[in-house]
Amino acid sequence: MNVNQSVPPVPPFGQPQPIYPGYHQSSYGGQSGSTAPAIPYGAYNGPVPGYQQTPPQGMSRAPPSSGAPPASTAQAPCGQAAYGQFGQGDVQNGPSSTVQMQRLPGSQPFGSPLAPVGNQPAVLQPYGPPLTTAQVTTQLSGMQISGAVAPAPPSSGLGYGPPTSLASASGSFPNSGLYGSYPQGQAPPLSQAQGHPGIQTPQRSAPSQASSFTPPASGGPRLPSMTGPLLPGQSFGGPSVSQPNHVSSPPPQALPPGTQMSGPLGPLPPMHSPQQPGYQPQQNGSFGPARGPQPNYGSPYPAAPTFGSQPGPPQPLPPKRLDPDAIPSPQLSELPPQQKTRHRIDPDAIPSPIQVIEDDRNNRGTEPFVTGVRGQVPPLVTTNFLVKDQGNASPRYIRCTSYNIPCTSDMAKQAQVPLAAVIKPLARLPPEEASPYVVDHGESGPLRCNRCKAYMCPFMQFVEGGRRFQCCFCSCINDVPPQYFQHLDHTGKRVDAYDRPELSLGSYEFLATVDYCKNNKFPSPPAFIFMIDVSYNAIRTGLVRLLCEELKSLLDFLPREGGAEESAIRVGFVTYNKVLHFYNVKSSLAQPQMMVVSDVADMFVPLLDGFLVNVNESRAVISSLLDQIPEMFADTRETETVFVPVIQAGMEALKAAECAGKLFLFHTSLPIAEAPGKLKNRDDRKLINTDKEKTLFQPQTGAYQTLAKECVAQGCCVDLFLFPNQYVDVATLSVVPQLTGGSVYKYACFQVENDQERFLSDLRRDVQKVVGFDAVMRVRTSTGIRAVDFFGAFYMSNTTDVELAGLDGDKTVTVEFKHDDRLNEDSGALLQCALLYTSCAGQRRLRIHNLALNCCTQLADLYRNCETDTLINYMAKFAYRGVLNSPVKAVRDTLVTQCAQILACYRKNCASPSSAGQLILPECMKLLPVYLNCVLKSDVLQPGAEVTTDDRAYVRQLVTSMDVAETNVFFYPRLLPLTKSPIESTTEPPAVRASEERLSNGDIYLLENGLNLFLWVGASIQQGVVQSLFSVSSFSQITSGLGVLPVLDNPLSKKVRGLIDSLRAQRSRYMKLIVVKQEDKLEMLFKHFLVEDKSLSGGASYVDFLCHMHKEIRQLLS
Ligand SMILES: [Zn+2]
């Protein structure tokens, strides 16, 4: 089969094919005889009836027919000897200093209804009518943007001035979403109310083929910045005659694909010329708050002649790279007065993420993405679209940095565009899309190439009348086994091609035979072990009681396979402080029994029978245990905990039971008790920006990696829920979850009343989500390229196999490819990702994803088919791994250099000749600078003063497994104005750019980045809005830091709360709401996420970074 041909529509796989028994799927899913194949994961993708309505606590359960009544309270359940080992009398150490930890004030009682979490489809907007021009955006178009770019004049305090007296603000912040605590007295300079001009993004009127940087036709005086070709209906925002800079620009017509921006960096306005006809004084605020001196890039930009044709005095050679940290920040007072009148680029004239996202939604969100054609660039992750699998894997499973890759390694090296795929093998699909079909080839197992072991796929070529097939990966000719033989039609295609998923679809599963199982034995169903810290901190905060209460109901919603009535997963329970307590919850017992293991140095599992049980069979005993645990430890004084022995115990228990599984650890403190893996507090912020900073990200001891390796061998995945009051060394504690494919959740300064909604939502989703256990992933490629590097939460013991003790539907593995030979334009390049795993019912399966890419001999084809969001995902992961080994500054420099090389190569090889003063960006990469800047100034690479070492390690770990949609919103948050759109509108309001100057003080905004959620209230908000949303009569009465909106019966309240719920449902973690008032001290927290602005930690603004990038490119080209 020619992979380039488009596959005809696939008929439904409904017709039973008696010859191929596996195809009906009658053996699983409980749909025997049904003509419609069962969806293996239907139970997880669909809603769980009834559960979401369950109140967070107190769900009572009918007692089983056998078993004792639940024990009431503190009655000791088992022998006094055992109990006494950890009883109060033995406690030597009283409450530690952690007890006196500063507590952040709780702001509001927990009160809003629980948002449904977990099984929500990620699709919010309805799919519109089909549009026939969906691919139009892949056509590049020329555009040219000009505008005077120069550092802004020091403004009169419109938000970028020097710190004002507001720095005296004091008090502590409420317990915030991601970052639990913030130092006091570090309030940023706050902008003044009148500094919010209320600029909205320009109306989207221009067709996408043309310049998308059209400044708004109206909207006050703007920099006359555009010289691109005029389209009907377009107009420019200012008189271009007043732009002397544009004279040097070449005529804009017949531009090559790409985005040209000149002026800003190009021919600069005469720096010291007092008369600048094109630039009006900005005191009217129309351009938003003007910026003060930009310390990071302060020294190069004043040197106007560096940038363009402007004659000037000889300049010293600029440094090879600007180092934001090395350049002293010029104080306002030190600047020569002339520089204070310099002008800034018009933010509307530089590529807007919002515009790109909206254009893609409009152009590609209305008709399904059909995967039959090789090398198609899918819609953006921010666009809602349906996928029809016609031979290539859905972009929900695989996204690539480019869908057209260079034929030779020389070309690839020249372009410096990383060739990578972000793979999410078990991605959840929206309900409209079917999960992969499961194919059963019986005892013979899946058909594979004898040489390279690739699995049968639509790209394999059948020859010799169907008796042989040629491997599309290695070209080996293989015999077709007799039972798989089928005739070919006149085109050489098997006549049963469309009846077989593995011959017609991009994604499908095979049932694995015993050959694919450990020790040649089919696996047992996996087990979940809940391991609960019952030290003083865990008890005191109410965590243990909350958790035990929740587990009583949550255990009924363990993952199930297909139509199974109950989950096959067995459960076990351990509690611990500096010793471990195992529980026998065998169904025949009247009461649970506890066994204590105090020899943590040599961990063993004291019981086998009765430790891992079926929930239904042991319901009464489990329920009794969960009632008793909070009571048993209610008076504990034990503050010390162990950690490694706990995981060791869980892993040993799984080993003894000969099954894979998952440990859920609920842990509160730095494990300082004497035991393997004992840690010390080594937090040292003084290491930041030194060569030793990397040690903050490295584990303290090797014990954790050793343990992780053992866990992977056992298929023991670890999910870690942390509830720290202070430093717990996330960098070390997260090693095992990271290497076993698990997740880490962190709730700093946990308080039940403030944080239970977030914790319980995360817990429910985590326990219920589909997981593959004991998994191995291999990515095969056609000759010419191969997978060389991998990023994600997994372990590798060789260079090709990604080992995952567990893999859930949220986790991605990013794979980088390099050439090892020449690729061929005709045959393209193929990827096949094969994931071998054990399902939650204990079935061994192979999930296969195939993707065909184009190959090119022209660099322009590469740049035309790139996906910036995926590039950023790769680059962030690359950088976040780099900080383990290199100084953070070196990592940032590497990113900047690579980005400049990518763009310089485009300019040199793909763009038509134009003035050197123009910045020309490929259409597909026009957001690369803004997004890269967000990565550079993220907490891991450039932390602010309020970011703790644990926060950085936590985020670093999270990003490692993120998919493209998650990294996109994490690095460039969504900012949604709430009162602009009609109240009856049910769709999400269009976002605005993440910059303070986009905020109107008469509006309210939601900001989310996948982890944090803010509601920002402008100081001039209408009283009616305040009343409708907060049930108070004025802005001043709104409680800053509020965590829940009151439930009010009016349209606005319903709309905003509904929007919050829907934002939460789109994300894999619960986002806790924080209400922020304009001018309030909490606003600093919020402004951290306005990523187009200069950050307090020294991160460049978008405009400045673009200037910097342009300079880097020009240096490479000169
Ligand atoms: Zn092969």
pLDDT single digits (tens) 185-225: 333 333 333 333 333 323 333 333 323 333 333 333 333 33
SS3 700: coil
- Comparing 114 with 1095, the larger pLDDT belongs to 1095
CA of 449 to the centre of ligand 1 (A): 5
Judged by average pLDDT, the poorest of 19-23, 406-410, 829-833, 1013-1017 is 19-23
Checking if the pLDDT of 278 tops 80, the result is no
Checking if the pLDDT of 776 tops 90, the result is yes
Checking if the pLDDT of 756 tops 70, the result is yes
CA of 451 to the centre of ligand 1 (A): 5
Show Cβ contacts of residue 462 under 8 Å, excluding neighbours closer than 6 positions: 468, 469, 480, 488, 492, 493, 494
pLDDT per position as a tens digit, 626-653: 999 999 999 999 999 999 999 999 999 9
CA of 861 to the centre of ligand 1 (A): 28
Quickly state the pLDDT bin for 937 (edges 50, 70, 90): very high
pLDDT per position as a tens digit, 1029-1057: 999 999 999 999 999 999 999 999 999 99
Mean predicted confidence (pLDDT) in 1107-1117: 94
**pLDDT at position 347, please?**
82
CA of 778 to the centre of ligand 1 (A): 14
Whether the CB-CB separation of 257 and 160 falls below 8 Å is answered with: no
CA of 795 to the centre of ligand 1 (A): 26
CA of 472 to the centre of ligand 1 (A): 7
Query: What span, in angstroms and rounded, lies between the C-alpha atoms of 738 and 705?
Result: 10
**pLDDT at position 561, please?**
83
- Comparing 773 with 13, the larger pLDDT belongs to 773
CA of 446 to the centre of ligand 1 (A): 14
Quickly state the pLDDT bin for 260 (edges 50, 70, 90): low
Mean predicted confidence (pLDDT) in 859-875: 97
**pLDDT at position 1089, please?**
96
Checking if the pLDDT of 876 tops 60, the result is yes
Residue corresponding to tokens 């530089």: 350
Q: Counting every residue, how long is the chain? A: 1118
Judged by average pLDDT, the poorest of 53-62, 450-459, 683-692, 905-914 is 53-62
CA of 475 to the centre of ligand 1 (A): 6
CA of 467 to the centre of ligand 1 (A): 16
Query: What span, in angstroms and rounded, lies between the C-alpha atoms of 210 and 317?
Result: 37
CA of 474 to the centre of ligand 1 (A): 4
CA of 163 to the centre of ligand 1 (A): 64
Which residue, among 869, 832, 859, has the nearest Cα to 379 in the 3D structure? Answer: 869
CA of 478 to the centre of ligand 1 (A): 9
Ion ligand 1: residues, CB < 5 A = 449, 451-452, 454, 471, 473-474, 476
High-pLDDT (> 90) share of the chain, %: 64
CA of 1050 to the centre of ligand 1 (A): 63
CA of 402 to the centre of ligand 1 (A): 24
CA of 408 to the centre of ligand 1 (A): 21
DSSP 8-state secondary structure symbol assigned to residue 1095:
P
Checking if the pLDDT of 525 tops 70, the result is yes
Residue 210 CB neighbours (<10 A): 18
Q: How far is CA 328 from CA 296, 323, 1096, in A?
A: 8, 10, 15
Distance of CA 839 to the CA centre of its chain: 24
CA of 427 to the centre of ligand 1 (A): 27
CA of 856 to the centre of ligand 1 (A): 23
**pLDDT at position 73, please?**
35
Residue 960 CB neighbours (<10 A): 21
CA of 858 to the centre of ligand 1 (A): 28
CA of 832 to the centre of ligand 1 (A): 11
**pLDDT at position 261, please?**
55
CA of 818 to the centre of ligand 1 (A): 19
Mean pLDDT (the chain) is 77
CA of 470 to the centre of ligand 1 (A): 8
CA of 482 to the centre of ligand 1 (A): 19
The rounded radius of gyration (Å) of the Cα atoms in the chain is 30
What residue type is assigned to position 158 of the chain? L
CA of 512 to the centre of ligand 1 (A): 19
* Token output for 772: 């593959």
- Comparing 137 with 881, the larger pLDDT belongs to 881
Which residue, among 833, 758, 643, 848, has the nearest Cα to 1064 in the 3D structure? Answer: 758
**pLDDT at position 917, please?**
81
Burial readout 830-841 (b: 16 or more C-beta within 10 A, e: otherwise) = bbbbbbbbbbbb
CA of 466 to the centre of ligand 1 (A): 17
High-pLDDT (> 70) share of the chain, %: 69
Considering Cα of 507, then 511, then 515, then 520, what sign does the dihedral take?
A: positive
CA of 649 to the centre of ligand 1 (A): 42
CA of 780 to the centre of ligand 1 (A): 9
Checking if the pLDDT of 252 tops 50, the result is no
DSSP 8-state secondary structure symbol assigned to residue 6:
P
Query: What span, in angstroms and rounded, lies between the C-alpha atoms of 162 and 144?
Result: 34
Judged by average pLDDT, the poorest of 214-218, 727-731, 787-791, 869-873 is 214-218
**pLDDT at position 202, please?**
32
- Comparing 987 with 767, the larger pLDDT belongs to 767
CA of 453 to the centre of ligand 1 (A): 6
CA of 515 to the centre of ligand 1 (A): 19
Distance of CA 135 to the CA centre of its chain: 26
For the chain, count helices (H), then strands (E).
23, 30
Mean predicted confidence (pLDDT) in 401-407: 97
Segment holding 739, helix H or strand E: helix 735-739
**pLDDT at position 912, please?**
83
CA of 456 to the centre of ligand 1 (A): 10
Mean predicted confidence (pLDDT) in 362-386: 95
Whether the CB-CB separation of 791 and 814 falls below 8 Å is answered with: yes
CA of 828 to the centre of ligand 1 (A): 16
CA of 851 to the centre of ligand 1 (A): 16
